[in-house]
Amino acid sequence: MTDLQEQLHGLWLPLVTPFQNGALDERSLRRLTRHYSAQGIDGFILGATSGEGMTLREAELERLVAIVRDEMAAGRRTLPICLGLSGADTARLQERLDETADWPIDGYLIASPYYVRPSQRGLLAHFEALADHAAWPLALYNIPYRTSVNITNQTMLRLAEHRNIVGLKDCGASREQSIALLRDRPKEFRVLTGEDANYFEALADGADGGIVLSAHVETATFAAVYAEMKRGNHDAALARWHEVADLTRLLFTEPSPAPAKYWLWRCGLIDSPEVRLPMVEVSSELAATIDREIARRTQAAA
């Protein structure tokens, strides 16, 4: 197994990218890295959907990776990093793999090509070409409601045979498809859910973990859900899940990651809730709802 295969389990955090006045907020990024490295997460995803990766310039993305790695090196715990990449041009993505080959990462999370809607044969050829080219292992990202193309299980199982394709972030939005994949996958092929609201359900079905935006909040509880499930304590895991299940709806009430950024700003973890267009900050109505929820949870913990 590759190192990433061994590490791709448990609770992974798709870290938000903090901005201030239009620029990467390095001070807040260091604060986030220190905070979450000390929590019960098992890895970071950087520059993917939750990290607004499609708005990041290459120099910003490189700086993002360098800061997170540097901050972890200065701390007590070093976690694996997957770099999020996406695009609809296979050749350009191969160039991106070359450009990032010497960055201090452990692998890539690569989404399906968006907009062009390739056939399954096209998806197979696309991902095999990337896997053949990449210096680091690949985890695939199946999210058809964003890309307009679903990687079928038949295609996924063929891709899972590639030595450099080690896992999947599963946002396929079909429990039936997910269960069948978990049943039929090769033993070493990792499957993590990317559907926050289905985190407990996916673990109960046999997923290896989750890549969960909502775990920016109540991180220890999300980690405990996985830990209890891993120990076979289904009822205990369900009880912990009930503590955070509502967060997975609240934080997606408006386009993500704006609600999570607002929450982190109100709690002092980032210095601004700023997002980049075409994302916009949360509405005043949602801001008030989040404020009430923060106050309620603060009071309950007191």
CATH of the domain at 165: 3.20.20.70
Tokens of 66: 């360098």
Does 42 map to a domain? Answer: yes
Structure tokens at 210: 């989750």
Residues of the domain holding 221: 3-233
**Which secondary-structure segment (H or E) carries 226?**
helix 219-230
pLDDT for residue 301: 84
**Total tally of structural domains belonging to the chain:** 1
Q: Active-site positions? A: 141, 169
CA of residue 163 relative to chain centroid, distance: 22
Question: Binding site residues for pyruvate, as ranges?
Answer: 50, 211
> Is residue 120 included in any domain, yes or no?
yes
Which residues sit in the known binding site? 50, 211
Count of all residues that appear for the chain in the document = 302
288 found inside a domain: no
Enter the DSSP assignment of 88: S
Contact yes or no for 190/166 (Cβ under 8 A): yes
Taking each helix axis from N to C end, the angle separating 234-250 and 284-301, rounded to the nearest 10 degrees, works out to: 150
Is residue 293 in a domain? no
Looking up tokens 């859910």, which residue turns up?
A: 193
Write down the pLDDT at residue 76: 76
Which pTM does this prediction carry?
Answer: 0.97
With respect to residue 144, please indicate whether it lies within any of the assigned structural domains.
yes
Does the residue 291 lie in any domain? no
**Total H helices, total E strands in the chain:** 13, 10
Residue 238 lies in a domain: no
Q: How many C-beta atoms lie closer than 10 Å to residue 295's C-beta?
A: 11
pLDDT for res 273:
98
Composition of the chain by helix, strand, coil, percent to 5: 50, 15, 35
Q: List per-block mean pLDDT (blocks of 10 residues) for the chain, which spans 302 residues.
A: 88 98 98 96 97 97 98 90 96 98 97 95 98 97 94 98 98 94 96 98 98 98 98 98 98 98 98 98 98 95 81
What is the pairing mode between strands 209-211 and 81-85?
unpaired
Whether the CB-CB separation of 65 and 99 falls below 8 Å is answered with: no
Determine, yes or no, domain membership for 95: yes
Position 1 scores a pLDDT of 58
SS3 148: coil
Q: How far apart are the first and last CA of the chain?
A: 45
